[in-house]
Each structure stands twice: as C-alpha cells, then as structure tokens.
Amino acid sequence: MCGRFQQSSDLATLQDRFAFRAEGLELRPRWNLAPGQDALVVRLAEEGRRGSLLRWGLVPAWSKDAATGYKMINARSEGIAAKPAFRGPFKRSRCLVPADAFYEWAKQKGHKQPYRLALADDEPFALAGLWDRWQAPEGRELESFTIITTQANQLVKPIHDRMPVMLARSDEDAWLDPASPAEALEGLLKPYPAQAMGSRAVSARLNSPANEGPELVEPVATQGGLFSEEGDGA
C-alpha cells in the first residue's frame, strides 16, 4: 500500500519537472503527507496540464458520505477498470501525484521501522492517481484522489508486498491522455525497476502524521536492517 509520502520539492522545481500551470496555487513542502490531507496533483485541462490541491482519499461522486475517502487512499491495479469506485475515474479522470519519496514500514525487533523509498537520483517522480469530484447534500464540493498500487519490486518486497505505481516519465502523457485505451493504461500499472531506486531507514517520528520537517527523512542506523549498513537498496 501507500499510506504516507513526501512532497517537499518547491513549486518552481515541480513546475519545471511536470510542466503544469499553477495560477494562485500555494504549496508548502511536506515530508510526511498523510491520508485526509491536501496534496498537489497534476491533471489535464483544456489549456494543458494544471496543478491543484486535492484531498488524499477518494470520495466517489456517487458516495453518500465524505468519510468514504478514508477507506480509499489506495486503489489496487488488478481489475481496476471494473471496480465500482474506480472504473469511472480510471476512464475519465486520471492524474499524476508528484512525489519525492514514499514510505513503508518494516517490523524489526518489536517495532515498526519506516523506510524512505525514492529514485536513486532523488529526483521527483509521478505516482499514478485517480481523482473524482463529490458534492455534499448542502452543495459543497470536494475533489479528492487515490494512489494506485501494484505488486512490490525486489527492493520494496522485504518491507511490504505492495508499492505505489511509479510512472516512467515517458508514460506520463499517456496516463493523462483521455484518448489512451484501457489496455494500454493497464500496461503502465507495473512495479518500477528496483535498480533505479534507493531506500534508507528514517526516523520513527514519521509514525505520527502530526510530525513534519526535513529531519524526518535523515538516515538512521538500524540493528539487523533489511539492506546494507548505509540503508541503500539500489
């Protein structure tokens, strides 16, 4: 699964990387983004790519209650085009979720140790997302998103059996293109190459979404860790 991620690059860096418009958008760096919080997503609009802040946790348009979103922070890639909550967004409202890293927790000596997983060059990348627009009975609108997951690659597997879908840069346009056939899109929902990634153990303070700041992602020593002493699994 993906229950926490890092989106700490500044807006100018993300605009340069993902080529989106962001008029009026204010973005603060986040090292510990959690479900129920707002995050930057990139969608395709008439004028091209546009960045927006959406709530993490998909609330389908047909839902009776916004609380549904807390159960839909992730969407399994297997059979996604047929699942009631995701088939509509998969067909018409896909998005990129920019990230600097995501986190998974490993059980080690009676506690859960968070690991930061990112590209080996530590550049921002895109997670495959879906979004939807929900309207409350009183008329209030809520736009929300979910992150698609797939089977873990060899780097992530010692920690968790699932990982978020990290899109290759060359596949991002196809993911956003409304004309892309479902079969081609499903082919993009695969594990990212493990050799292009790196990992390290980080602060257990990540366990609480109330904690924020760059100190959370500094490498920490572990006893009998999953990877090498440096925590690099590339």
pLDDT of residue 225: 52
Contact 75, 130 (CB under 8 A): yes
CATH of range 5-104+121-193; options 3.20.20.140, 2.60.40.180, 3.40.50.2000, 3.90.1680.10 = 3.90.1680.10
pLDDT of residue 232: 35
pLDDT of residue 233: 33
pLDDT of residue 224: 55
Contact 64, 122 (CB under 8 A): no
Residues of the chain with pLDDT under 70: 223-234
* DSSP category for residue 114: E
Active site residues: 2, 104
Bridge partners, residue 146, by sequence? 130
Nearest CA to 53 among 43, 42, 40? 40
Q: Which two tokens stand for residue 136?
A: 């409350």
What is the model's pTM? 0.93
CA angle 105, 234, 103 (to 5 degrees): 25
pLDDT of residue 226: 54
Alpha helices by DSSP H, 103-199: 172-176, 182-186
C-alpha to C-alpha distances, 86 to 62, 129, 138, 220, nearest whole angstrom: 11, 10, 25, 38
pLDDT of residue 223: 61
Phi, psi angle pair for 204, to nearest 5°: -70, -10
